[in-house]
Structure 1
């Protein structure tokens, strides 16, 4: 057994498909299959249950995957520690979809300009998936919104931002100087689907004020929510960072009266993984950038 076999095994386990795994690993499917077969013969157990179009881990495969993950993680951390020069290396950054396109671009550019020999890799996914990747060592840091209830991770608060009310043009509330949550109590809401924590942020805030928003439509992307509101499908609440980048004149944004809805942006890391000097530089840049970002005036 060698490290390449472990990597091949992990890829097949992640993709659930030999063809896709072979493509990712730049191997022929037959070579990948032979490697997995030798591994299974060495341990005397099948690690995968072969199906017509996919494979699934057997009980032995699940057990082996745990050990393979630990071994590869130790090797990766050791390599990173040995080659740590504070200038080169790979940093894997995760972020949820309601943060990534609005917060990351300038941050990544600033860091790349300061450390041109670094390599930044972005993973955009849901909170649940990113926390899983943090714990498994697949990413180095995740930019999320509270609450984060996962154990054995380190959570650092970055800043809080307002959730602003989004209205279609011509809505009865557009001319009102002060809008209260009770004013939109009976309005239909356009929300992100349940996989996105922003919906939880909005629902929790409303229920704390004894208001129960009725979602008439759900979308997978924030841009879709904005478009549906533009078409008078309902109202919504949008993070301030998304409002800043919206140049469309078919949408109206308003702040709600106090208490105003908000969310807190946090950085999540795995304290049990080795973190390079380059990663420490990224964290410092992230903290400084967050302060500047939060202080930007609304447009």
Structure 2
């Protein structure tokens, strides 16, 4: 006897049909019948009565199903408790975000100042729906994204807003300017992050708000290569202000945008009924204090 045989018996009992049970278990009907026969032989009793094509548990089968259900319930409960114990012991915090750069200003300070020794994991989730789904299933504790999530079970709190700049090649005709109106570059070639990524959509939305569709010559998935192409004179691009501080090689020229207002919002998202509300509150209060800029 093994747990697979018990699970097969449970499925047959719930289906009341060998054919339906075989379909659910993705095994052949003869193989399933053989396993049931082996189980009954081992128990030395018959568990079912057949009425036409329908299988009904007899009194011994009903008794045995209660025991089997209890076993599987206890196993599932034990698994859940072990996971919760492990998370409690580790004080784990999990995040979902389109860019780990959104967490870089926070991590070192939080690890240094937090009274709890925590572990962390970060899932790369490129869009809002993916973050929403992971929050609702509580596969992550927090999401960081550029828009709030409108759902009754999810809390959205604005952490900070970040200025978006225009990057132009060093030899560009506008490189000696400190600021521009975005309409001044409506005919310029753009090097843009792919629309599959959140900032790609932000780039396009900003241009549309300025009254034009960007002339995208290069669409990239790599931020570093985007900046490289701009620096080499192949186009211009929009860039979050904090990203320019991460550049280490020769940089393009960065201009402030007078209009339209160019910024992105960073929202912290979490499930209102998280299994560990204490750590949620602690992290949110810390994040609000340390990342609420401007």
Q: Same-fold call, TM > 0.5?
A: yes
TM-score w.r.t. length of structure 2:
0.69
- The answer to whether 1:90 aligns with 2:89 is no
What is the aligned partner in structure 2 of residue 108 from structure 1?
Answer: 107
- Structure number with greater Rg is 2
What is the aligned partner in structure 2 of residue 15 from structure 1?
Answer: none
What is the aligned partner in structure 1 of residue 17 from structure 2?
Answer: none
What is the aligned partner in structure 2 of residue 122 from structure 1?
Answer: 122
The 5 Å alignment of 1:1-80 reads 39=7, 42-43=10-11, 44=21, 75=80, 79=84
The 5 Å alignment of 1:242-253 reads 242-253=243-254
Distance in 1, Cα, partners of 2:192 & 2:154: 29
Name the SS for the 1:249 alignment partner.
coil
Give 1:274 shift: 2.2
Give 1:210 shift: 1.1
C-alpha change, 1:257 and 1:115, in structure 2 (3 Å) is: same
Kindly report the root-mean-square deviation, in angstroms, between the aligned alpha carbons of the 2 structures.
3.2
Gaps of at least 5 residues in structure 2 are: 12-20, 28-72
What is the aligned partner in structure 1 of residue 45 from structure 2?
Answer: none
What is the aligned partner in structure 1 of residue 229 from structure 2?
Answer: 228
Asked if the contact 1:108/1:120 (under 8 Å) is kept, the reply is: no
What is the aligned partner in structure 2 of residue 208 from structure 1?
Answer: 209
Asked if the contact 1:88/1:278 (under 8 Å) is kept, the reply is: no
Distance in 1, Cα, partners of 2:193 & 2:135: 24
Give 1:190 shift: 1.2
Distance in 1, Cα, partners of 2:135 & 2:196: 18
Distance in 2, Cα, partners of 1:206 & 1:273: 38
Give 1:172 shift: 1.0
C-alpha change, 1:47 and 1:260, in structure 2 (3 Å) is: farther
TM-score w.r.t. length of structure 1:
0.68
Name the SS for the 1:255 alignment partner.
strand
Gaps of at least 5 residues in structure 1 are: 1-33, 51-67
C-alpha change, 1:224 and 1:83, in structure 2 (3 Å) is: closer
Asked if the contact 1:40/1:47 (under 8 Å) is kept, the reply is: no
C-alpha change, 1:42 and 1:262, in structure 2 (3 Å) is: same
Please list the CA deviations of residues 239-293 of structure 1 after superposition, one character each: whole Å capped at 9, or x if unmatched: 11101222333311111113331111101111133234233211111111112xx
Distance in 1, Cα, partners of 2:5 & 2:186: 61
Please list the CA deviations of residues 146-194 of structure 1 after superposition, one character each: whole Å capped at 9, or x if unmatched: 2545664221111111110011110111013441111110011111112
Asked if the contact 1:145/1:263 (under 8 Å) is kept, the reply is: yes
What is the aligned partner in structure 1 of residue 143 from structure 2?
Answer: 142
C-alpha change, 1:212 and 1:119, in structure 2 (3 Å) is: same
